[in-house]
A and B are shown apart, each in its own frame.
Chain A
Amino acid sequence: MAVTSSGTATVTLPTDEQILITREFDAPKHLVYKAWTTPELVKRWWNAKRGEVTIAEIDLRVGGVWRYVMVADGEFEVGFHGEYREIVPNERIVSTEVYEGMPEGEAVNTVTFTEVDGHTTLTILVQHTSREHRDAHIDSGMEAGMQDAMDLLEQVAISLR
């Protein structure tokens, strides 16, 4: 992957229960980590282009809780929260994540920061905790089912071009 100032996130599906998001940043890892774990900074980037982050709470210690709330398009509120399970400063954060619109679907996210020559590769591995959780997603017609369908969908996408 080339040096990027404005790259795209790469999203892949390593297994039926995982999503892997990868991106390279033109900054050392301690700064990427700082931007990732400082509430005022998270508020500035986590919203993407569609909303405003109204709450970013980060209690950065094992057993500590995080919660982000975004008002999307000035209309509806979406909330996410979880608990920190493992913290290695500037290296790795493992935490749970629950989308509050669907509380039974808890996932475990592992975020890693790897630096080479002042550039940092960030990876986010989203792991569903159990087949039960995944099936809960499937039962409600939500995204877990679609993760499995991704390979097929790539073919579909190609056929639509």
Chain B
Amino acid sequence: MARAATTADAFNAVAEPRRRQILDVLAGGERPVNDLVRLLGLAQPQVSKHLRVLREVGAVDVRDKGRQRLYRLNGHALKPIHDWVKTYERSWSERFDRLDVVLEELKRKEEGDGSDE
């Protein structure tokens, strides 16, 4: 589970609360940087810094439209995180499936001992 501590990694990119806020906003649709500045209540240089990190890992795409630069979410870049969470859920499900087998055995054993209920 250990990962290299690099910002060029989707896990690190979303570890910062402000960057998660940016992703939350962009999940609702494409936005110019001014909207993000307003919605997050941060100074533009800070927002730009976070956007740069998010762009480096591909979590955010940018395009020019007239005078504006529009940012949007790219979910595929976050897929490693989604996969990690699924792995977590899956390993617990697998453990519990095995626990089912153990419990069946314990139930049979208890009934066999004549100590019914």
Q: In the complex, are the beta carbons of B27 and A155 less than 8 A apart?
A: yes
Q: In the complex, are the beta carbons of B11 and A141 less than 8 A apart?
A: yes
**Interface size bracket, B side:** 35 or more
- Chain A residues within 8 Å of B81, by CB: 146, 149, 153
1/0 per residue B9-21: CB within 8 Å of A?
Answer: 1011011110010
Residue of A5, A27, A31, A141 touching B15 (CB-CB under 8 A): A141
Query: Closest CB of chain A to B117's CB: distance in Å?
Result: 9
List B residues 70-111 near A (Cβ within 8 Å).
73, 75-76, 78-79, 81-82, 84-85, 88-104, 106-107, 110
1/0 per residue A46-70: CB within 8 Å of B?
Answer: 1111100000000000000000000
CB-CB nearest in chain A for B94: A48
Q: In the complex, are the beta carbons of A48 and B98 less than 8 A apart?
A: yes
B60 within 8 A of A: no
Q: In the complex, are the beta carbons of B106 and A9 less than 8 A apart?
A: no
- Give me 10 A-to-B residue pairs in the complex whose CB atoms sit less than 8 angstroms apart, sorted by A's number: A25-B96, A31-B110, A32-B103, A35-B106, A41-B102, A44-B98, A149-B81, A151-B24, A152-B24, A155-B27
Instruction: Tell me the A residues contacting B by CB distance below 8 Å.
Output: 5-9, 11, 21, 23, 25-27, 31-32, 34-35, 41, 44-50, 78, 99, 101-102, 138-146, 148-153, 155-157, 159-160
